[in-house]
Amino acid sequence: MNCQQIRPLLHAHHDGELDAANTLQVDQHLADCPHCFAYLRNLGATRLLVRDEALRHRASPDLRRNIRAALAKAAEAEREPVAARPVWWRIGIPAAAAVLLGSLFLFWPQRSDDRLLAEVTSSHVRSLMVEHLTDVTSTDQHTVKPWFDGKLDYAPPVRDLRDAGFPLLGGRLDYLSGRSVAALVYGRQKHFINLFVWPLDRPGAASAPSATERNGYHLVHWTSPTMTYWAASDLNEKELMDFARMLAGG
């Protein structure tokens, strides 16, 4: 099957709706066609971004204050004798309270660790969608590391793990946790790993890599005495943890 025949099947393939024969043909085509593979990857990334909690917006202090005042007024009205209330009041206030509660839940600020997880995942997905993985493309750590000079207020550690099957592909500037950070890009077969690195607010003890999953992507976090690291990829958790442990142990 050629690309023209494959493209109409990719949405169903992504959703697991193809029969075994078509699934096999699509998988064989994807193994040899980087264009259709990139199309499928971007399709999945687009769907994940639409559902990402990072798209939620923090409620302003005025909105939260108005919601609380309306709820307090509704609660006070509930204490009045039922017979004394107009019909529209008896029906409308509970409904309005439900809407206000739903709005408050939607706009309630996320915990800082949840927000950071969302930021890391979104940054990884965006880098794949816009085909902007790297600002500097090189497999040489002695080319990538100096590229950050003058662009950041710190020097990110850069290592090439080609011998272990994780070649360095380059790096770029990104923005996480309210600051500019280094994003180092590594490869693993057809997978990409974004490694985000920035300094700790205060130097401390190193922590071992720990893994989590968000929207189908694996993320691994660890710290050195001076830096914090986040690795994000659609690579399986075991291999991503192997990658993180090599960096953390080196």
Render each residue's pLDDT in the chain as its tens digit; 250 residues: 788 888 888 888 777 787 877 887 887 787 778 778 777 767 766 666 665 555 555 677 888 888 888 888 877 776 666 555 555 445 555 555 555 555 544 444 445 567 888 889 888 888 887 567 899 999 999 999 999 999 999 999 999 999 999 999 999 999 887 788 999 999 999 899 999 999 998 888 899 999 999 888 999 999 999 999 999 999 999 999 999 999 998 6
pLDDT at position 106 is 47
Least Cα distance to 171 among 208, 215, 136, 146 occurs for 136
User: What is the pTM (predicted TM-score) of this model?
Assistant: 0.59
Yes or no: domain 112-249 corresponds to CATH 3.30.70: no
pLDDT at position 84 is 56
Q: What size, in residues, is the chain? A: 250
Under DSSP, the state recorded for 63 is H
pLDDT at position 221 is 96
Name the residue ranges covered by the structural domains of the chain. 3-51, 57-107, 112-249
pLDDT at position 105 is 47
Least Cα distance to 197 among 239, 242, 240, 153 occurs for 153
